[in-house]
Chains A and B, each alone.
Chain A
């Protein structure tokens, strides 16, 4: 690990001030991803500004009639919060599929959004990676890409976003509240928060330098009766997804009135399946419609040499997640 100065920020102003005065500083939340990457010599900040103890650790009511998750609240407390479990069980389920009890006790909500890819070319400093060192090329596109993107990738980067929480947030819909070093706040639509790699794969999100995530605003309670988070992986726990699906349904009078559907492990950002969502609205919740939606969802898939399996796996997983969401006892 490279040497760094440690700044324990007492309040938000101090943290923002420290960040604005050092372009090589990095906020430190739970550290579950950042410290790992620093040990790997992938992240090389020369200053860490501790923000996990800042006072964004509550779940509060918001302007939408929904709840706002504090940016520094940890994943365990968020997923297990009575109101989240009751009103947004899809979010709880996705969050609890991630990592382990120990890691969820450490990881912050803001940090979860900023997790970096698990692409091995990104992790191994002796191999080329445009995300780690722009201009070095993408090792994965001509190398091993079984775990990589089937949507939205570019010649410069085929990495996928590793978060489970974000997949549920994409299905549910959310806004991210960020503070700028100049003190101002702004709200970012969740689907606009992360970005596709294009020719700037080093940028995972649309966050500006020094901006700090302080909260995640959820909409009114949604998909609280019919929800399922399906995670396909090589072992049954403590593994990143090959493919994951967050599925939520609102059903009234036997008809789907609204569907929330997003996938993980398939793109540089949590992949919201808008066409499939739209298709399902107004349809009966049955196998034929679920299958039709899954076909629509996968229409634009562009698999790489090593991950063709993800297309079929994606379809099947969408059908399975929708079925399990629907069949859940309301």
Chain B
């Protein structure tokens, strides 16, 4: 903002549902008679008041979240959680939702970790009545309608499309490089002027400055426990930590924008259900659906060892063993409800679109947007703009990554742009290694928090089980991400203060 760059400032709008009046920060209320466009590029949406319902229409925005709070006939709408709830106490936090998101279970589409605040994800429409009852539904009309009309895969090449998207970003741009393929491709596209920041999840952030400026590259130490984050966001050590660290040091480098390659590889990939059609011989060889895993073992070994190693316990639908009976029951119930809500959200959505939408509606991305507001540096995710989405979703399979001869080959464009990228499974893999390192070093802290933390006082976890897991190296590594997130969220919750 200080450098004269347009950055969407966060806003807070109050709508009186009984009177049908709208007021912004400190302004006088004005009647809401016609459609109002919400400010901001990313949180684009409209407000409409129709027959007693307030309709918040976000069906034309593909990024960012809106947060709503209903209180006594008034709805407060903001695109920044820290503006809506600047000083939360432990009583405002839905501890069960917080704990379940630490275990890798995503809260329902309209839930946040704060009890009174509802989330309105991208590509959705909400209708709120004066008594506070509300309905939130997804609306994907923009993707299907626009994508089919444009047919951009034939008219515009993928690299041309990406170039066009990156052209609007003010320079110098800082690329949040993870070491993965998408960010390496973005570096190539942005050319030599771009700054490159890479965050080792266990160490300092290093920012590489291009040669002509003559500045010696120097690592900037940012440790994740000191990461400047707003009070309202729990420090969930998830896969967006690297981008968050780079955002928080971006002001030191004079960068005017941060670009991250989230979703790009996913958008340019192929799902198992599409491989079925192209992989012909493979399906005939194995007679199994691709994407399923079976471990073939000798019959007498099969019983003792039949889980698949590729996915985390949460993905397999298992809860970690350290939950108490009450905690397990409550989290199981909550998760059933959330999964039903998401299943409803993605009903009749093609699998590929659903996978991309699942990544775009990640609640942790909202934390990145809030952080970018706070640091006054705009964040760009080129894979997430409406133009990119509708074009990339309709790319033919041959232009995307696919399974060739049993191996996954990345999309031709990514391989052309980033021939020297190191292969990583994905951000979740790096995050897992970082978590294992952290848990091995901080075992004592974890033990203390498990015995005397907020979750333990609520009776949700069994400390003895945590100790047992910490003592076994295999279990410790298996549950490392969940242990780390739980410990850090617990400390955050304890520091909030309040009645609990």
A, B co-complexed = no
